[in-house]
Amino acid sequence: MELAGKIIAVLEPREGISKNTGNKWMVQTYVIETHDQYPKRMAFEVFGEDKIKQFNIQMGEELNVSFDIDARQWQDKWFNQIRAWKIDRVSAESPIPQNNPFDGQPQAIQSAPVDFSATDKTDDLPF
């Protein structure tokens, strides 16, 4: 799955030692907000010190986040886990189409004038 938006929060990394293997682990959580009419926010994690350094996610960046979702049960409660596996940076400059009616600029509409006299017979409107 993918989600595009702006990073609005970078939380402190958490780390520990795995009980099963004794290996050190690190995870960092980020919050991204979409640019929809009604913006949505999603907290996601990057697992592993190497991935955290590789992605180097900074506050305010525009990203496209590829992620997996999984759920875990703990003490009769379920928790979602959203883990990023790929990060693409979005270019700050995106080209705007020349004839975009939604770019806030007034558009000139040109049309041929309509000649009603050629077809004007008797008024046959029912009202």
Interatomic CA distance for residues 114 and 107, integer angstroms: 21
Rounded (10°) CA dihedral 67, 68, 71, 72: -90
Per-residue confidence (pLDDT) for residue 13, from 0 to 100: 96
The 10s digit of each residue's pLDDT in 37-59 is 999 999 999 999 999 999 999 99
The angle at the Cα of 64, spanning 59 to 69, to the nearest 5 degrees, equals: 100
Per-residue confidence (pLDDT) for residue 102, from 0 to 100: 53
The CA-atom distances, in angstroms, between 51 and each of 78, 108, 120 are 26, 51, 74
pTM over 0.95? The answer is no
